[in-house]
Structure 1
Amino acid sequence: MLPYGRQTIEDDDVAAVATALRDDFLTTGPRVEAFETAFAARVGARQAVACANGTAALHLAMLALDVQPGEVCIAPSITFLATANCARYVGAEVVFADVDPDSGLMTPRTLAEAIGRVGGRRLRAVLPVHLRGDVADLPGLQALAQAAGAVLVEDAPHALGGAMRFGKKNERVGDCAHSAMATFSFHPVKTIATGEGGMVATNDDQLAARLRTLRSHGMVRPEGCEPWWYEMPELGFNYRLPDILCALGLSQLGKLDRFAARRRALAARYHDRLAPLAPLVRPAASPGWSDPVLHLMVTLIDFQAAGRGRREVMETLRAQGVGTQVHYIPVHRQPYYRARYGELDLPGAEAWYARCLSLPLYPGMADTDVDRVTAALGDALG
């Protein structure tokens, strides 16, 4: 069975974890700082703060910005639940932005429309998602957010290893050249895995210090106090990432270039093998400035023209050993958000959702697996 995504764990990853298990620290130890330092260097940010998972990274970002109840955060409707939920965790309200129907990304146009729905409330944060691994228009989004008095926070768990070129400048996902923070996830299907884990990258030393305090119960140890003394001036959370998982993260980070190259090669093969299925099937659109390391191989399928429903196609593929997934159900459709904000008309998100289907993509795949998947897809669509 080919799942839509899976981790690549090798003998040296296992050995790194085994070594950590034999050392003195299982929870917070020297590998946490080592992983943070290596990650920051890899993405080009001044600081990186490890935490329990990608959702915790988003929650910490909202806490570090001191987002308050009643204030507003804007998130695209095509994303995982956590992008919107992190605002609700701190009592803020969510305004959902529409997306480009072919890339799934928030755009300056859809952000401007969402800002128009904020009304008289204070807009605090804009959270673009680098969906699939493709980078949103950061300069365009930043300009609109800044004009509205808001902070840009990149939700980048799909995009580790990706690059972009805005104008004449080469940039890396996570360098925070256009944002206050960028958040990442190390869930098993992501580009590198720690089992569960997350990271917040930033160029702001004060934000980094606050993130570290908030991930550990809000505790601080004032200078000059007794060695056992600690204080909790504000409420924090236990969002720490254990040393043993950072050992795995360090080992995986060392393979990022290899993983990225393999994902890019597989994506290129998909583009070639899917071409004969056009216009019925085509890969999701990639902006010209984005050089992604794709986390998801999303195809956009005209199921109506094919005369086959998505469920039927997925079940047919599964019977042939090909796993697929849908990324994502528009978050504004979720019962919680419909009850809170009512029905919304976001046609780009609806058009994306109606057509999207994620095919298997992970470094352990062989070239022939891509051929098998695309042939099976052609058969499933008749």
Structure 2
Amino acid sequence: MIPYGRQSLDQADIDAVVAVLQSDWLTQGPTIERFEQAMAARCEAGHGVAVCNATAALHIACLAAGLGPGDRLWTTPNTFLASANCGRYCGAEVDFVDIDPHTWNMDARALAHKLEAAERTGSLPKVVVAVAFSGQSCDMRTMAQLAQRYGFVLIEDASHAVGASYAGRPVGCGEFAAMTVFSFHPVKIITSAEGGMVLTNSPQLADHLRRLRSHGMTRDPAHMTEPSHGPWYYQQTELGFNYRITDLQAALGLSQLDKLDAFIARRRHLAARYERLLADLPLTLPQAQEQAQSAWHLYVVRLQPERIRRSHREVFEALREAGVGVNLHYIPVHLQPYYRDQGFAAGDFPEAERYYAEAISLPLFPALGDEQQTYVVEQLRQLIQEPAQP
């Protein structure tokens, strides 16, 4: 089975982890800070705060933004559950903004219209989580202008977009979003096995994020309520979490970062090759968002059902039977039972629902060979060009 995504590890990655195993620090050690500094430097950001996974990163980013009960978080329905759940973890209400029919990212025009209506009813969001779906940023310039106008905190969920750029700047630089979240899950651009990071240019936010990832604890006298009792002393000044990453994970992430340019180059080669090989088929291919250069975490195509005799499900299942491990990113979040219980229903976000009825994620990862990719295309071509069996 050719998977839709997988990690690419080499001996340098193994050696980096073994070096930490042989060191004095397995967790809360110096490799974590080196990883944070390297990621921040790569993205031209002021600060990086590494945590155990990107869901934790989203959670503490929302908390650092001041999100709490009675507040609202808006995000896209075309995302993984964490982009919405982070708001619920904070006790906030969650709502969605429909996707752009061309880029499949949150539609900045729809966001503007929804904000206008929310201002009239006094129901503006405190946080908007803009997801860089498949590795491509949203219209972040427009969204940053809307954040300034309406007073919400803009967080970019760039879990798919390590190594991507927007408006000539690295994603994560902080020019448009107050905080940017990366994921280092094995199928992402680089991996630390599990892991995530928040990037920000604000020293205050970075300091707050560091406390939140470690039980709300501080050893900094500036944040304490009374003088220190001695060199052992710390205080818990707020409710935090054990969201710490280990030095083992940070070592792997740091080693992987050395290969980021090569990974991105290979992904872009494969994406360009898919575009050429699929151009004549009854498919809607990914379209570029102006000013954005994608990291190509995913390569998603949409079937054109009026031109194909087989159903979406039939094509998907037949590809898997042929050894092509396709996937579907994503089931619209508002259609999940939990969010239906919050009052959402089918028809609320029609563009996201149309997308879901047509989308298939094809295999894309650095180790995918050209011959394997050609096989994927041949299997898809055969399925959607030949008539279905009676």
Common fold by TM > 0.5: yes
Offset of residue 379 of structure 1: 1.1
User: Which residue of the partner structure matches residue 63 of structure 1?
Assistant: 63
CA contact (8 A) 1:182 1:202 kept: yes
User: Which residue of the partner structure matches residue 356 of structure 2?
Assistant: 353
Match of 2:127 among 117, 125, 128: 125
- SS of the equivalent of 1:154 reads strand
User: Which residue of the partner structure matches residue 221 of structure 1?
Assistant: 219
Offset of residue 2 of structure 1: 0.8
Q: Does residue 1:195 correspond to 2:193, yes or no?
A: yes
User: Which residue of the partner structure matches residue 264 of structure 2?
Assistant: 260
Report 1:181-192 matches (<5 A).
181-192=179-190
Q: Give CA-to-partner distance per residue, 1:198-239, whole Å, 9 cap, x none.
A: 000000010000000000000011436211111101000000
User: Which residue of the partner structure matches residue 49 of structure 2?
Assistant: 49
Q: Does residue 1:235 correspond to 2:239, yes or no?
A: yes
Structure 2 letter corresponding to 1:331? V
Report 1:146-185 matches (<5 A).
146-165=148-167, 170-185=168-183
Offset of residue 114 of structure 1: 3.0
Offset of residue 100 of structure 1: 0.9
Structure 2 letter corresponding to 1:205? P
- Number of paired residues? 376
Identity %: 47
Partner Cα separation in structure 1 for residue 106 and residue 364 of structure 2: 23
Structure 1 letter corresponding to 2:280? P
Structure 1 letter corresponding to 2:189? T
CA contact (8 A) 1:282 1:300 kept: yes
Match of 1:309 among 290, 308, 311: 311
Offset of residue 341 of structure 1: 2.3
Match of 1:366 among 350, 364, 369: 369
RMSD: 1.3
Q: Give CA-to-partner distance per residue, 1:295-328, whole Å, 9 cap, x none.
A: 0000011234312122211221112211101110
User: Which residue of the partner structure matches residue 327 of structure 1?
Assistant: 329
Q: Does residue 1:6 correspond to 2:6, yes or no?
A: yes
CA contact (8 A) 1:76 1:98 kept: yes
User: Which residue of the partner structure matches residue 340 of structure 1?
Assistant: 342
Report 1:11-30 matches (<5 A).
11-30=11-30
CA contact (8 A) 1:53 1:186 kept: yes
TM-score (norm 1): 0.96
Offset of residue 113 of structure 1: 3.2
Offset of residue 274 of structure 1: 0.5
Where in structure 2 are there 5+ consecutive unaligned residues?
222-226
Structure 2 letter corresponding to 1:198? G
Q: Give CA-to-partner distance per residue, 1:104-161, whole Å, 9 cap, x none.
A: 1112211123325543235211111110011111111111222111111001010111
- SS of the equivalent of 2:210 reads helix
Q: Give CA-to-partner distance per residue, 1:8-47, whole Å, 9 cap, x none.
A: 0111101110111111111111000000000000111010
- SS of the equivalent of 2:365 reads coil
Partner Cα separation in structure 2 for residue 366 and residue 8 of structure 1: 13
CA contact (8 A) 1:151 1:180 kept: yes
More displaced 10-residue stretch of structure 1: 137-146 or 342-351: 342-351
Partner Cα separation in structure 1 for residue 307 and residue 34 of structure 2: 52
User: Which residue of the partner structure matches residue 31 of structure 1?
Assistant: 31
User: Which residue of the partner structure matches residue 224 of structure 2?
Assistant: none
Partner Cα separation in structure 1 for residue 107 and residue 356 of structure 2: 17
Q: Does residue 1:145 correspond to 2:147, yes or no?
A: yes
- SS of the equivalent of 1:161 reads coil
TM-score (norm 2): 0.94
Offset of residue 336 of structure 1: 1.2
Partner Cα separation in structure 2 for residue 314 and residue 20 of structure 1: 42
CA contact (8 A) 1:54 1:185 kept: yes
Offset of residue 175 of structure 1: 0.5
Partner Cα separation in structure 1 for residue 234 and residue 95 of structure 2: 39
Partner Cα separation in structure 2 for residue 354 and residue 284 of structure 1: 16
Partner Cα separation in structure 2 for residue 251 and residue 258 of structure 1: 13
Partner Cα separation in structure 1 for residue 83 and residue 114 of structure 2: 16
More displaced 10-residue stretch of structure 1: 5-14 or 114-123: 114-123
User: Which residue of the partner structure matches residue 379 of structure 1?
Assistant: 382
